[in-house]
A and B are shown apart, each in its own frame.
Chain A
Amino acid sequence: MAKRIEAVGVSAYYGAFKAIEGINLVMEPKSVTALIGPSGCGKSTFLRSVNRMHEVLPGARVEGRLTIDSQDIYGRDVDVTAVRRLIGMVFQRPNPFPTMSIYDNVVAGLKLNGVRRRSTLDDACEKALRAANLWNEVHTRLSRPGAGLSGGQQQRLCIARAIAVEPQVVLMDEPCSALDPISTLAIEDLISELKNQYTIIIVTHNMQQAARVSDRTAFFSIEKTGDPGRLIEYDETTRIFTNPSVKKTEDYITGRFG
């Protein structure tokens, strides 16, 4: 199921401002890739480029080549909605749809893409909620509003919503930064489980988290404010955190940077 994402010379712009430049990365299927680096270095921009969410903002565009199992994501004849169905995304702040119940939130992606059969939706809902470790907490109140859950539960609800459409790749943009340590632990456990099925790319500011959950880590950085972000080093997580080959990576990881 899971697919390989490959970036070759990817640059992304916000209008005239170049946010990232020349990113080359290969993200392996059924593994967790962590993107770390200081604020403003373009980690999130790169992540949003992968499922074409970057271009949602006015004036934003992407150059270079991004492929999913050697299919061009930015190809001329590519349907953006199909890309996003294949590459799901979880955001920094939980964003359940406020007008929908827990059930409707989970199956929103299926329902809004035309799936009507109640039994299919029921099965998908239970499967996604179980996968997101939320089923036991909410299965008795599926018709309650999704916005009534706690922050950690809401984030897991959003993860369930993202995986209910059965994507191949899940992008996570600082999914735990608005959560307490216990909810963070729940999500990290979840990430290790999801790894068996999906390709996961996670942006995080928490280096312990990157070390805990990821197989490979990419370190992004900028020279100074206003410069585009670049990929400094990309390697096995254990290597990045124990024996990085670039001085800058070591400085950042040991806290001597910025």
Chain B
Amino acid sequence: MTTLTTPTISSALHVRRLPAWAIGVTAAGAVALSVALFSGLGLLGGGPVLTAVGAVVLFLVGLSVVSTVVEGGRAARNRVATALVYSAFVLALLPLVSVVATLFGKGTGRLDADFFNHSMRNITAFDANGGAYHAIIGTLEQAGIATLITVPLGVLGAIYIVEYGRGAGLFILAFWILIVSPHLSPNGRPFYSGFAASLALSVLMLPTVTRSTEEMLRLVPAALREGSYALGVPKWKTILRIVLPTALPGIVTGVMLAVARAAGETAPVLLVALGSPRINFDPFHDPQESLSVYIYDQATSASRYAPARAWTAALTLVALVLTLTVAAKLLSRRNTLNKGK
């Protein structure tokens, strides 16, 4: 590069900027060099992952050198930091993309009508058909009942902690976990049922719902509560009509995270609902399947047809949770006025 004769502190507002094509050229050069070094010469053992990592590192180094020479140190640091942030984002996205791609790659094999309206009753290891109808019912009922139990308890608990309790938050949480959860836990129950699974799942969901609701309630500005009190509105009505609606979108997000967690839970359901190949609509009697237990069953089954069913069930579970989350978000948004208009 050429030598620069810039003064240490310039009063000029216009500085030299790296043209957009120069970044492209640097990137292309980094990729080419990395491919040549790691894939071509087999440096450090080579391989596609090393090539990709090498390309990113070479790009960062090249960008910093080019930018320092042309634009100066501050701009170079900015460019490198920006590039790092983007790389981190891509890195964080990789596992998600990988999971979704795997699910779609392997899960679409049994994505047929049979899968959604048949159970596994009378399906032997030599039958290619069979479905997860009974498991979908189980998941919906168990997670649904668990949500019905958890949301009132969790939201009311959070309201107590934020609005009424004075530093009793930890106590309440400990109370729930230590005193109440053993009673809700299914250890003492004599028979397997979906409801037992719901109770177990609600114990699991309760801390998540309570904590996230607590945080959301704390975010509601005190000025809104005072505005309501100043109108002569009682405290309980202020909470119900002002505080909760304001915090609703955040509470819904917390609840949906808990639902997703509960729907994906296998062990408690396996222990107390046992799992079953039959369709069982009644959550209060007899063993019931859930999608996660179904995946576990099929993934460990000896049948050559089972893995395809397990993958499709996994895809179904993800799609189900996604649909519920999107639906809940849309519902909660409908009640909140759009500020943009």
Contact = CB atoms under 8 A, between A and B. Distances in A.
Contacts of A148: 339, 341
Contact of B231 (A98, A144, A165): A165
Interface in A97-125: 97-101, 108-109, 112-113
B245 A53 contact: no
Contact of A97 (B227, B229, B234, B341): B227
Interface in A51-110: 51, 53, 56, 58, 81-86, 88-89, 91, 93, 95-101, 108-109
Contacts of B238: 112
B1 interface: no
B25 interface: no
Interface stretch (B105-113, B171-179, B218-226, B251-259): B218-226
Given A91-B223, A95-B221, A100-B337, A109 B232 contact: yes
A88 B223 contact: no
A84 B338 contact: no
B227 A145 contact: no
Contact of B230 (A93, A145, A162): A162
Contacts of B117: none
Given A93-B223, A98-B246, A158-B227, A113 B233 contact: yes
Contact of B246 (A88, A99, A113, A144): A99
Contacts of B335: 99
Interface string B306-341: 000000000000000000000000000001111101
A101 B245 CA distance: 13
Given A99-B336, A148-B339, A161 B229 contact: no
Contacts of B225: 56
B230 A112 contact: no
A157 to B, nearest CB: 11
A91 B246 contact: no
B223 A95 contact: yes
B232 A145 contact: no
A56 B221 CA distance: 14
B57 interface: no
B237 A112 contact: yes
B181 interface: no
Given A91-B223, A99-B246, A84 B229 contact: yes
Given A112-B237, A145-B337, A145-B338, A98 B230 contact: no
A81 B338 contact: no
Q: Most A CB atoms within 10 A — which of B227, B233, B242?
A: B227
Interface residues of B, number: 27
B166 interface: yes
Contacts of A53: 226, 229-230
Interface string B203-224: 0000000000000000001011
Given A84-B232, A113-B233, A165-B232, A99 B226 contact: no
Contacts of B337: 98-101, 144-145, 147
A85 B232 contact: yes
Interface in B59-113: none
Contacts of B341: 144-145, 148
B241 interface: yes
Q: Most A CB atoms within 10 A — which of B229, B231, B233, B245?
A: B231
Given A97-B242, A145-B337, A56 B229 contact: yes
Contacts of A83: 232
A148 B224 CA distance: 16
Interface string A144-161: 110110000000001001
A112 B231 contact: yes
Contacts of A99: 242, 245-246, 248, 335-337
Contacts of A158: 227
Interface of A: 51, 53, 56, 58, 81-86, 88-89, 91, 93, 95-101, 108-109, 112-113, 144-145, 147-148, 158, 161-162, 165
Given A97-B228, A99-B248, 8 more contacts: A56-B226, A96-B227, A99-B337, A108-B231, A109-B233, A112-B233, A145-B341, A147-B337
Interface of B: 166, 221, 223-234, 237-238, 241-242, 245-246, 248, 335-339, 341
Ranked nearest first, the 5 interchain pairs of A and B with the lowest CB-CB distance are A85-B232, A109-B231, A145-B337, A89-B230, A84-B232
29 contacts: A53-B226, A56-B226, A58-B166, A81-B234, A84-B229, A84-B231, A91-B223, A95-B224, A95-B226, A97-B228, A97-B246, A99-B246, A99-B335, A99-B336, A101-B337, A108-B228, A109-B231, A109-B233, A112-B228, A112-B241, A113-B232, A113-B233, A144-B337, A145-B337, A145-B338, A145-B339, A145-B341, A158-B227, A161-B227
